[in-house]
Structure 1
């Protein structure tokens, strides 16, 4: 919310301040200096560019506003009277004008109506880098975009990087650096889904499945590596759509050079300020100290959202901010109170990946029938499990089940069905819980009330109570938690494929979601949608 306010208010605030300077009855030579500083602040930070995806498509509006602001800043520099710093100001003004173009270009590059489709359509399925510097041509009879032999020779492929014997890529940290290159290549391929290309040419190829299951998910430490590659890949995607990094570092260092050119030029302005105005300011010193002590934060927070219906169905939000801001802040619906987020553990990742490898080995993503049938067979031969395994299964089952509930309550757009369907079902569940559990204050009372309902009642909460009774009848707790662990791991994979790439892309500025990582992982294995076979009675 704070970032959005700063983003939305920056242009109006700068415009208002420039207007005050322009209409002031007296003129000060420092007005031109402060106008330049405001201009730098307005559109020339080298990282943050867009707050949301629609900002990229609205690049023409920002471009017009930027032109108007540049005109008024230039007018203030001229009209502020003679100054000893006129030359420095005009040099800075010229550099800022050039640098402000990076933000416009970043918007344009990531906009659907302009460059996004062109820059993603012809990414080669052999995971190449450097294709943006070549010119593919449309050739008959299919008129597909293709490279000629000379262009292919200039491309740097992932295979070239893997075969490189240079000291940088073959040292102790070489494997991780190669994986960063792989992440960059995969991010370019994933961008095709964000551009709206639902059919990926390589999705049905055997080597695509082999890349995922024989490459990324192969080996003893495959889980840690696979999620690290996906995390870096999504960071590249985030930078492409929401920052200027991609454009800055793909422009032959022109904009980096401009940034360095600002340092000596701005140093020229230091004498313009009174000698005691900043140096003696304790507040300003503390501000600089805070800025320089900031640490780098990953866009992915590596946590799982959690929600428990039995705990929060009677939650009644006050929505003070919603009314105070005249609906600028979204309204929280009743029954939606998020539990404390939990760290995404390696046990959760391993369980999901092992389930993926096992189910694909059987030829499909299951809708939890595979895990239930497997445990039905295994129960005949197993009699309890070790305490360590039981604890792990309990942790995985609880983390994933509450995460799935969180997705339904707070992020239904990330689920395969239309978000309205998920929201409607969830609202009905909240009302059912309010009716069935009215007056029940403790969790124990609520559990017992659901387990004692009439067996002829087919409401979802009552069916859940009957399922709880069935699970309790399993003699050994270890077997009980294994059933739930396998069930929720398979469910997590079943709901991950989706055609709504935009919804996943919009999670990245907010820190991302585990389901987005799984969605990207499955995409690179050619798994773009859920199986379409007949529904089975789970």
Structure 2
């Protein structure tokens, strides 16, 4: 026993001794230099992550991706400050310190596709400014010290300093622009320009030619708008000539915008995944739609200000959407594609540097940045690299056993990463929707480009590149499958609530499904079906009336909250889901997928629903509690459904009992017909929840893969479509559960 205790004691002592040795080594000059080099390398790697995967987050809702990007975005700022502090306080010198410090400062604002992780980061732009000032003071102090001992390197640092100022200014302007008064003045001018439309009828043959939505304003107009109190009159003929509108884009006679499948340019745009054979849009129409998406994005920004469009402007917008897009063959595909690109602009407005680069006409400076980087790299090789191989007094360097300078290798690695980052960023910027709309608006404006084969070829090549804009998934939640879910206490407890999102009992998300054409068509058909005017959306009752079952089923739409309506119909649909139609039915897929999607919104995104989020969460929690009591001990789906059918006959008006009663009523109808009723009901209810005053909630979801309801929200917002006030709630008694 003593030998065993002695062995354990010896092992502990050895571990302590080894740890002490490691700590002492880290305190040596070589150890501190290794820490600095490691930190510089990690920061460069984090920047590479942000640039390479930053734009993916709106195309992917992966929790792991979100955690990685959050860590890279958050840690990089602290790590930069820490590393600069190590350099400044080090008791030794290294000729590459100023170069590394310069790169660290440049990294602080280098990711054009990732300027903010969340909307809260934009609100904290002053914090970024002060952080940058503090680190900049330390950087200048370090730089001034080394210039006195390395005067020949002045040219290197001047070039990198220019690059530093350009990079940090871009990010600062991007953050400040969301709060500056100029943004509101431009928004107000856009409102005035659209509101100034006359009441003349929209052309039946081509409705879009009468659309005055702004796509581009000349520099002169923008300067007037940004000047305090100098906004030009929207009705002035001079102003009209300096503004590119959607109508002008549609009226453009240039071959590029009038071509049919590349007839004039020799190019054909990539086929969109939603296109069916024989339904492909002309190339010119696709290019016009990019400009339309940008114009709609400018109007969607009104949701984040206090400016409103007049009712007549909304009426015209509805005509443009209904007759210009939705009434065309496969119009639902085109409408969804326009909304996708529109929300891409809105995402970039909040989370990237692209708006400030293109709207402030800063994109030519990207060429200057690239030149500074190339020339600076060459001068670095000439002036700095050789010096690291000549040890001097008070200079500490790391050298491998093979005689290679670790300092040189680290500098070369950082330069390679930075060059790769800049090349990737230039490519992403060149193929961005911002670049496309800039090229297309210039094409409309400059008649000399019309028929210019080289210019049309260039624009066609840029616009042909098509990246998937959003995840295009419907997230799913099945109440009867997840009500008994208990989150892991290891991951979700009192301590982890400060670091990760809280997961409640019963909150287990199902496997997302692809957003199908069937679902999009069903929802858009519900919008335009039999309505020539601005619509007041109903929560499913219109579809019940159209199918002749309103008298029997409308009670389930007249409940106290819309959360309760969703959960009651979801439970009823879940009961029927286990008795699918004998043959494959698109109505079955539409109904079940939309049912689980709206249930997902109740469970995970209540802010996107009409009810107050607290009320929705409370309703969900009560239903989970009720389900655990009612279904306790019933392990299989079949057993749970039998149990639900039995409780439908008992008294009480809880969500579970109402859902069971509705399910019993539906089960007495022919399944083929009932899935048609349910598909139309869920399509209408999905559209009903789309209008929202909580624009911020939708903007937050843009950085997490996007939501189908957000695309619908954008569409109905332009048309001024609102939901009809809910009917007065009714109390159902068991005797009312009559058959259809």
- Determine the structure 2 residue equivalent to 1:127: 213
Deviation at 1:46, TM superposition (A): 2.2
SS in 1 for 2:294: helix
Shift of 1:472: 1.1
Provide, for residues 350-401 of structure 1, a one-character-per-residue CA deviation record: whole Å limited to 9, x for no partner: 011111111635853222111112222799xxxxxx9798610000001100
Say whether 1:243 aligns with 2:352.
yes
Q: Distance in 1 between matches of 2:374 and 2:417?
A: 22
Mapped pair 1:180 → 2:247: no
1:104–1:288 CA distance, 2 compared to 1 (3 A): closer
Per the TM alignment, residue 147 of structure 1 is displaced from its structure 2 partner at its CA by 5.2
SS at match of 1:130: strand
Query: Offset at 1:309?
Result: 0.8
**Matches of 1:284 and 1:76, distance apart in 2:** 19
Q: Are 2:552 and 1:372 aligned?
A: no
Q: 2:106 aligns with which of 33, 37, 40?
A: 40
Equivalents in 1 of 2:588, 2:289: separation in Å? 33
Equivalent in the alignment of 1:443: 637
- 1:149-160 superposed matches below 5 A: 149-160=237-248
Return closer, same or farther for 1:28/1:289 CA change in 2, 3 Å cut-off.
closer
Question: Is structure 2 residue 376 aligned with structure 1 residue 263?
Answer: no
Deviations 1:420-474 (A, max 9, x none): 1111110111101111111111111111111111331211111111111111111
Shift of the alpha carbon at 1:83? 6.1
Secondary structure, aligned partner of 1:455:
coil
Matches for 1:69-218 after TM superposition, within 5 Å: 69-80=135-146, 81-82=149-150, 84-111=152-179, 114-123=181-190, 124-125=193-194, 126-131=212-217, 133=219, 134=221, 135=224, 146=234, 148-171=236-259, 172=261, 173-197=283-307, 199-202=308-311, 205-218=314-327
Asked if 1:331 corresponds to 2:502, the answer is yes
Aligned counterpart for 2:671 among listed residues 477, 499, 512: 477
Q: CA deviation at 1:28?
A: 0.2
The CA deviation at 1:190 is 0.5
Question: Does the 8 A contact of 2:218 with 2:242 survive in 1?
Answer: no
CA gap 1:325/1:37 in 2 versus in 1, 3 angstroms: farther
Contact (CA 8 Å) 2:116, 2:122: kept in 1 or not? Answer: yes
Classify 1:245/1:434 alpha carbon distance in 2 versus 1 (closer, same or farther; 3 Å). Answer: same
TM-score under structure 1 length normalisation: 0.89
Structure 2 Cα separation of the partners of residues 247 and 472 of structure 1: 57
Alpha-carbon distance change, 103 to 137 in structure 1, aligned in 2, over 3 angstroms:
closer
2:625 to 431, 435, 449: 431
Q: CA–CA distance in 2 between the matches of 1:424 and 1:75?
A: 56
Q: 1:10 to 1:205 in 2, by over 3 A?
A: closer
Deviation, structure 1 residue 480:
1.5
Measured at CA, do residues 104 and 227 of structure 1 come closer, stay the same or move farther in structure 2, by a change above 3 Å? same
Q: What is the aligned-residue RMSD (CA, Å)?
A: 3.3
The match for 1:383 is: none
Which deviates more, 422-431 or 351-360? 351-360
Cα gap change, 1:316/1:116 in structure 2, threshold over 3 Å: closer, same or farther?
Answer: farther
Q: Secondary structure of the residue that 2:133 maps to in structure 1?
A: helix
CA contact (8 A) 1:70 1:97 kept: no
Among candidates 507, 510, 513, match of residue 342 of structure 1: 513
Give unpaired runs (5+ residues) of structure 1: 380-385
The aligned residue for residue 474 of structure 2 is 304
Q: Quick check: 1:421 aligned with 2:592?
A: no
Q: Contact 1:203–1:525 (CA<8 Å) still a contact in 2?
A: no
Query: How far off its partner does 1:98 sit?
Result: 2.7
Q: How much has 1:310 moved relative to structure 2?
A: 0.8
2: distance between equivalents of 1:137 and 1:229?
29
Consecutive unaligned residues of structure 2, counting only runs of 5 or more, are 1-66, 195-211, 262-282, 389-403, 429-466, 552-579, 733-740
Alpha-carbon spacing, 1:285–1:254, altered in 2? closer, same or farther (3 Å): closer
CA, structure 1 residues 288+251, in 2 after alignment: closer, same or farther (shift >3 Å)? Answer: closer
1:234 aligns with 2:322: no
Where do residues 519-534 of structure 1 align in structure 2 (5 Å cutoff)?
519-527=713-721, 529-532=722-725, 534=727
Query: In the alignment, is the contact (CA less than 8 A) between 2:315 and 2:720 conserved in 1?
Result: no
Whole-Å Cα distance in 2 between the matches of residues 536 and 332 of structure 1? 31
Instruction: Output one character per residue of 1:49-79: Cα deviation in whole Å (capped at 9) or x when no partner.
Output: 1122222232222112112222222222222
Aligned residues: 525
Residue aligning to 1:61? 127
Q: Please tell me whether Structure 1 or Structure 2 has the larger radius of gyration of its CA atoms.
A: 2
Shifted more, 513-522 versus 117-126: the winner is 117-126
Q: In structure 2, what is the Cα distance between the partners aligned to 1:161 and 1:243?
A: 27
User: Does the Cα contact within 8 Å between 1:137 and 1:146 map onto a contact in 2?
Assistant: no
Gap change, CA 1:114 and 1:430, over 3 Å in 2: farther
Contact 1:507 1:513 in 2 (8 A): yes
Q: 1:14 aligns with which of 70, 80, 84?
A: 80
| Range 517-526 or range 199-208, more displaced | 199-208
Change (3 A) 1:181 1:144: closer
Deviations 1:274-297 (A, max 9, x none): 78768899x999989998999986
- Measured after TM superposition, the shift of residue 105 of structure 1 is 0.9
Matched residues in 2 for 1:77 and 1:366: separation? 66
| SS of residue matched to 2:585 | helix
State how far apart, in whole Å, the 1-side matches of 2:671 and 2:248 are. 52
Distance 1:502 1:280, change over 3 A: closer
- Of 452, 463, 467, the residue aligned with 2:658 is 463
In 2 relative to 1, CA 451–115 (structure 1 residues): closer, same or farther, beyond 3 Å? farther
Kept in 2: contact 1:194–1:505 (CA 8 A): no
CA distance in 1, matches of 2:160, 2:415: 25
What CA deviation, in whole Å up to 9, does each residue of 1:118-174 have, x standing for no partner?
A: 232221322012347413599x9xx99645332222111111111112233223322
User: What displacement does 1:533 show?
Assistant: 6.2
